[in-house]
Amino acid sequence: MSALHAPLLVAIDDDPALLADVERELSARYAADYRVCCFSTVDEGLAALTRLADAGDDVALVMAGEESSGLDLLGAVRPLFPHAQRALLISWGRLGQPDTGDAIFEAVARGRIDQYLVRPAPPPDEEFHHSVSGFLLLWAEAKRRAPHTIDVVGETWSGRAYELRDVLGRCALPHRFHLAGSDEGRAILAGTGPDRRLPMLVLPDGRVLENPTDGDIARSSGRTIDPSGERFDLVIVGCGPAGLSGGVYGASEGLRTLVIDAAAIGGQATTSSSIRNYLGFPRGLSGADLARRAFQQAWVFGARYAFMQEVTTLARERDGIVLTLDTGGVVVAGAVVLAMGASYRLLGVQSLEALRGAGVFYGAAMSESPLISGEEVFIVGGANSAGQAAIHLAGYAKRVTLVVRAASLTAGMSHYLVHQIEETPNIDVRCGTEVVDGDGDGWLEHLVLRDRATGERETVSAYGLFLMIGAQPHSAWLPPTVERDEAGFVLTGADLSDDAVRAFGRPPLPLETSIPGVLAAGDVRHGSVKRVASAVGEGSIAIQQVHRLIAG
C-alpha cells in the first residue's frame, strides 16, 4: 500500500505539549504503515475527519484528550468511519479515580468511545504502544486485514460456503468471504488457476483447499491429531472455556492431556464480540481472542487436541475410562472431564432456516458483521451474549432491534449490559415479542414479529437476523449411567441420586458425575453459572479434583 493511501492515525488535543508527545510516539513507531495526523482543536479535527471520509480515506484509530471535549469528537467518529477505534486519552494520574472511571464507563455505554488510552510517558513507552497495537489489531480484524487471514470464495452466501465460514469461526481462524463473481473473488480465482471447485479456501501460506471437509480445515491449520489407541492421564471432551481451562491446568501440572471436540476451540464463547467483565482485561476481549490465547497456552504446556472428532461412547472398564470416537478410534483415560457445553436452540421457522448463512445466523456471527453496515438487523435473545452482540452490531448497522420473549431485559442480562443497551441510540428493544416468520429472495428481506400478549403480527424489513435463543446441553451421546436433569444437563456431586452415591462407596467429589472418575464442568453441568469466567473456574477446579482421584 502506498503512503498516500495508507490508513490514518488521528490525534486531537488542545494542549500543544501533550499533543506533541502523542505525535512523537505515533510517528516514531507507525509512520512506515500509517499516516499520522494531529490537530489542536476539536473543530479542526472534526472538519479534517469529515474531509477524509468524503475522500474515501480510511482511519484506523482516533485519539482525543479528555480535557479538550474529546468525548464529543469521539462520539462523532463512528458515522464517518464505522470500523475506526476510538480512544480517550487520559493522564496517568487519573487512573483509579472514581469520577474518571465513571466517565469512561458511561462513554463506552453510550457508544461514544471504545476505550481509554493512558498518555505516553517519555520514550520508550512500550505500554502505550502495546495499547495502540491492540486497537490497531481490532481495527484490522474488523476490516478483515488481520494477519494470517483465510480467503473463502463461494458462488453463494449460503450452503456449504456458509458452513465453511461457520467452521472457520468455530476454529477462531480469521477469514474473509468473497463471492466468485466479485472483483476480489475473480482476482483470487485468477491467481489460483482455472477449474477450481467451489467453495474454496486460500490459506495464508498459499495452499488451496477445494470444497474441503471440516477435518481438512482442522488438519490444514495444524489443530488436530489422531489419538486412536493412546492412553492419557486426562481426556477432556469439549473445548469451550471450561475445556480450554482444563487443558491449560491439566497439561501445566504434568498430566498427559487430550482435548477432544466435535467442532473446534471456544464453544459458544467465540460468538461473543466483547467480554468486558472478564477478570484482568479492563478494555475487554472477544471470545475468539480468549479462545485463541487459551488454545496456544495449553498447546505450549503439552496439551494435545483432536478436533472435528466426536466421542460416541464412554464406559468405565478395568484399564480405565474408554472413549470411542466417530472415526472408529479408541482412547483410554485415567480421568475424564465432560465440558461439551451447550448449543443454541433452533428457531424452527422453515422459511428462515432456508436462509441460514444468507441473512439468518445462529450466534453473533462476528465474521458477518461488516455485511450489515448501514442495514436494519434483529437479534433474538435476552441473555448476556445477545446483549454483547447488540452492542457490537450497533457499530455497523443502521439500527439493531433486540427481540426478547421476556417482559424485560433485566430477567436474563447483567446490569452493565442493560445500561449500555439503553444508552446506545441505534438499539431498540422489543420485549414480549417473538419472530414467527420471514422470507427473502436469496437473502433475508423481512421478518414477521408477534406480540406475545395480544397476538398481533407485524411485518418489518430486515437485512440480518441473529438468533441467540437459549441452549441445549451436548449430552445426548452419554450412556444412561450418567445422571442428568430433565433438560439434559449433567448432575454432579451433591445433586446425584442416593443410588449413585451408594454405588461410589465414598463421597463423590463436587464435580464428579455418577460414573467415578468422570467429572463435568461448564455449561453442560446442572447448576452451573452460564458465564465464561465461571466455566474457566470450573475447568481449573476439575483438574484439582482429578489430582485427588489420581492420588486416591
Ordered DSSP codes for 56-87: T--EEEEEEEGGGTHHHHHHTHHHH-TT-EEE
Backbone angles phi, psi at 17, to 5 degrees: -70, -45
Q: What is the pLDDT of residue 3?
A: 57
* Measured CA distances, 360 to 270, 290, 452 (Å): 18, 25, 22
What CA–CA distance (Å, rounded) separates 511 from 26?
51
Q: What is the pLDDT of residues 334-385, one digit of tens each?
A: 999 999 988 777 888 989 988 887 788 877 656 567 678 889 999 999 988 8
b/e per residue 399-416 (b: at least 16 CB within 10 A): ebbbbbbeeebeebbbee
Least confident segment among 67-81, 112-126, 410-424, 445-459: 67-81
Q: What is the pLDDT of residue 121?
A: 92
Least confident segment among 83-92, 105-114, 475-484: 105-114
Span(s) in the chain for CATH 3.50.50.60? 231-343+473-551, 350-469
- The chain-wide mean pLDDT, for the chain, equals 88
Q: What is the pLDDT of residue 168?
A: 83
Span(s) in the chain for CATH 3.40.30.10? 150-220
Q: Grid cell 465432560 — which residue? A: 338
* CATH number among 1.10.3720.10, 3.40.190.10, 3.40.30.10, 3.20.20.70, domain 150-220: 3.40.30.10
Q: What is the pLDDT of residue 273?
A: 66
Backbone angles phi, psi at 504, to 5 degrees: -65, -40
Q: What is the pLDDT of residues 377-394, one digit of tens each?
A: 999 999 888 898 899 899
Q: What is the pLDDT of residue 68?
A: 57
What CA–CA distance (Å, rounded) separates 152 from 368?
13
Write out the CATH class of domain 350-469. Answer: alpha beta
Q: Grid cell 505516553 — which residue? A: 120
Section 206-233 average pLDDT = 82
Least confident segment among 97-111, 252-266, 380-394, 460-474: 97-111
Q: What is the pLDDT of residue 366?
A: 61
283 vs 136: which has the higher pLDDT? 136
Q: What is the pLDDT of residues 513-549, one digit of tens each?
A: 999 999 999 999 998 877 788 899 999 999 999 999 9
Least confident segment among 131-135, 263-267, 465-469: 263-267
Q: What is the pLDDT of residue 193?
A: 79
Superfamily for domain range 231-343+473-551: FAD/NAD(P)-binding domain (3.50.50.60)
Q: What is the pLDDT of residue 225?
A: 67
375 vs 172: which has the higher pLDDT? 375
Q: To the nearest 10°, the Cα dihedral for 258, 261, 262, 264?
A: -120
Q: What is the pLDDT of residue 120?
A: 94
Q: Grid cell 452419554 — which residue? A: 478
- Decide: helix, strand or coil at residue 21: helix
Q: What is the pLDDT of residue 222?
A: 66
154 vs 344: which has the higher pLDDT? 154
Return the CATH fold of 3-142: Rossmann fold (3.40.50)
Confidence of residue 236 (pLDDT cuts 50, 70, 90): very high
Q: What is the pLDDT of residue 97?
A: 84
Nearest to 341 by CA among 523, 122, 139, 104: 523
- Decide: helix, strand or coil at residue 192: helix
Section 25-36 average pLDDT = 95
Q: Grid cell 439468518 — which residue? A: 360
Is the pLDDT at 1 greater than 60? The verdict is no
Q: What is the pLDDT of residue 223?
A: 61
Q: What is the pLDDT of residue 47?
A: 94
Question: Rounded to 5, what percent of the chain is helix, strand, coil?
Answer: 35, 25, 40
Backbone angles phi, psi at 139, to 5 degrees: -65, -45
Confidence of residue 271 (pLDDT cuts 50, 70, 90): low
Q: What percent of the chain has pLDDT over 90?
A: 54
Least confident segment among 36-45, 257-266, 409-418: 257-266
Q: What is the pLDDT of residue 367?
A: 58
